[in-house]
Amino acid sequence: MLLKYFYDQKLAHASYMVGCQRANEAVIVDPGRDIEQYLEMAEREGVRVVAVAETHIHADYVSGARELADRVGAKLYLSDEGPDEWKYLYADQYDHEFVHDGDSFMIGKIRFEVMHTPGHTPESISFVVTDQGGGADEPMGIFTGDFVFVGSIGRPDLLEEAAKIEGTAEPGARDLFRSAERFKAMPDYLQVWPAHGAGSACGKGLGAIPSSTVGYRKRF
């Protein structure tokens, strides 16, 4: 399994390329607007970008999902969780699959299982990754988006405070608590790959270290 980390210092935004060398295929998780960095990396590594996986609808940066769909025909894996008024309105223009809690999809021999983790936003999902091509039958990590960070957890009040969507902070906090309880039940060894680092307003006290583990996040 190929895993590449991309970080935009100005936006404190992290994105990832996950590739299967057996199939020469890759997916970009939470891509930023500058898609050239992903295409150049894919060419160097000898893989094709065939998909994009979004953890949630982003309000703090411009996603590169649509441009990747336009440029290379990437299939979009998008959350279909949350209320009807909180959806990806552009999806019908592209090859896409709306996913729900418990769904899964494959990139080559790499399995992505969808976990609904609302709280920061109602449609937020995480992706639990298993490298079946490497012989694993248990997951190795989780892409948490803005749900869990290194040193913090996603803010449930941003929709109300920043986007002025009234009445979302309290239910968001309750959702976040339930999501955190699910997270705590996961294996300690799982690596945690978030979508933001130090400096982001999406959480408080975010660390500059790019990754963590479920076990460490449980303790601290």
Residues 157 and 172: beta-carbon distance below 8 Å: yes
Closest CA to 101 of 83, 124, 132: 124
Tokens representing residue 16 in the block = 């990832």
Delineate the domains of the chain, giving CATH numbers in brackets. Answer: 2-219 (3.60.15.10)
Rounded-to-integer distance, Cα 191 and Cα 188, Å = 8
Tell me what percent of the residues of the chain surpass a pLDDT of 90: 71
> What is the DSSP-derived secondary structure letter of residue 34?
-
pTM: 0.93
Copy the structure tokens of residue 25. 């295929």
**What amino acid occupies position 148?**
V
The answer on pLDDT for 159 being more than 90 is: no
Q: Which of 159, 176, 63 is nearest to 116 (CA)?
A: 176
Checking if the pLDDT of 60 tops 60, the result is yes
The mean predicted confidence, pLDDT, of the chain is 91
Sequence-distant (6+) residues with CB within 8 A of 73 are 50, 95
What's the pLDDT score for residue 163?
Answer: 64
pLDDT tens readout for residues 69-107 = 999 999 999 999 998 888 899 999 999 999 999 999 999
